[in-house]
Amino acid sequence: MLRSQQKFLLLLVVGILILLSVLLLDGGSETIVVRKPKNKTSQKSNKKPMKLPDPKQKYFISPGVFCQHKSKEFRMGVRLENYWVLYNYFQANLDFKCNETITYTTHGDFTFFDNLEPLLQRWKGPLSLAVYAPGSDFDKTIRAMQFYRECTGSTLVKDYVSVHIYFPLGDFPHKVPTQKSINEMPVDCSIVPEYDESFMTYRKERDMVYPVNVARNVARETAQTYFVFPSDIELYPSPGLIPNFLKMIANDSSYKGSRRVYVSSIFEIEKDHQLPNTKNEVIELLKNKTMIFFHAKICPSCHKVPFQKEWLTSEIADGMNTTAMAKRHGEFNHWEPIYIGTNNEPWYDERLSWEGRSDKMTQAYKLCLLDYEFHILDNSFLIHRPGIKLFNDIKHLVENKRVASQNFFLRNTVVPEVNKEYGTRTECKMFR
């Protein structure tokens, strides 16, 4: 009891210190040294500020289903007694009604920011991004995000992306600018943040794990919209998905906010190849083997969508529809679907790390225990950033002590907890 009280007091003191540091720092050039651009100018959004929706008004989703507006305000807090989160630290310029669009919720670190514009060129909607930035990674995160907001000649990132930054209490950045000041800082557009997978971040230098599910949950819960699309930052959606999906839902009297989610098929494509925009183009690229189904050469069962053959052969019509309804049973009981859903779905277990693998599996297992329906969308697909991965590319990631340790934790702690809370079903499996 005494130990838990001491832990609580320590966290309280640390939280107060962090709060004071955030509130008191002026966030000027002493915090992040940048120079005013000489030859290039920052980009300003062409969009006019919209009137904020009424938070008390109910907005139509589908017959019998309504939602209420959710504002995006800056706030701070502690998660899992270990991670400090700056919610909406960078705020998107545009606001949307809860029924007006879908929020793409994703995560990563500053080395993945080059995916944002190609993703948004196809998505054309809000994106909620949770960024892990311990120690000196925080400073690089700020600089990189400012560049993509101000210096690329496009306003996509500035208009659509809201950024939430988190880090361990034990790896607090040297200085944290106030949320207000980061929008007033000058930006040097001549310094291009060029990073790749080999770049040695603060996290990699210290062999720190990536708490991926903290990021997934932060990105989801801060979304303004009723529908969310939890996905990876390197997966680019098919154009026109948002209006076609919302039109389908608005005309579906059977939806009623029931336990169902909407699944997109996922593919990989050869490096340096142009991405397809339509299902017809996808089918042609599959035929000539320029594209393959996602992780077909790494873990085919993990992302194999039920009724694949039916999806490929179904009649291609305008708009959006579903080709089939599936359950996570039988050969698909280890499937990790990527889907459009809502925040009514179970949250991800924040104790699991990306390095330990199987980090999304428990959430999919919960959906099975809740008897969710997985509706397969016909004209919706995701394409991984060009470049087909082989098992040898990730072999070192799946054969390590952290995987064994996390599997032990899943078997002996997480799954028993889930079964106690959600019950069991003989057709739902967590392990092979």
Q: How would residue 7 be classed by pLDDT, with cut points 50, 70 and 90? A: low
Tell me the pTM. 0.89
Which pLDDT does position 1 carry in this prediction?
Answer: 52
Residue 323 included in any domain: yes
51 in any annotated domain: no
pLDDT tens profile 173-209: 999 999 999 988 899 999 999 998 889 999 999 999 9
How do residues 68-121 score in pLDDT, each as one tens digit? 999 899 999 999 999 999 999 999 999 999 999 999 999 999 999 999 999 999
Question: Mean pLDDT lowest for which of 260-269, 310-319, 386-395?
Answer: 386-395
How buried is residue 394: exposed, middle or buried, by Cβ count under 10 Å (0-12/13-18/19+)? middle
* Residue 188, C-beta contacts closer than 8 angstroms, at least 6 positions apart: 34, 35, 36, 37
Range of the domain at 133: 33-45+57-218
27 in any annotated domain? no
* Residue 229 resides in a domain: no
Same domain membership, residue 142 and residue 70: yes
Is 307 inside a domain boundary?
Answer: yes
CB neighbours of residue 203 within 10 Å: 20
Domain match, 184 and 315 both: no
Number of domains in the chain: 2
Domain boundary, last residue among 186, 218, 250: 218
Indicate if 247 and 199 belong to the same structural domain: no
Decide if 429 is inside a domain: no
Is there a contact between 128 and 106 (Cβ–Cβ < 8 Å)?
Answer: yes
Which helix (H) or strand (E) is 7 found in, with range? helix 2-24
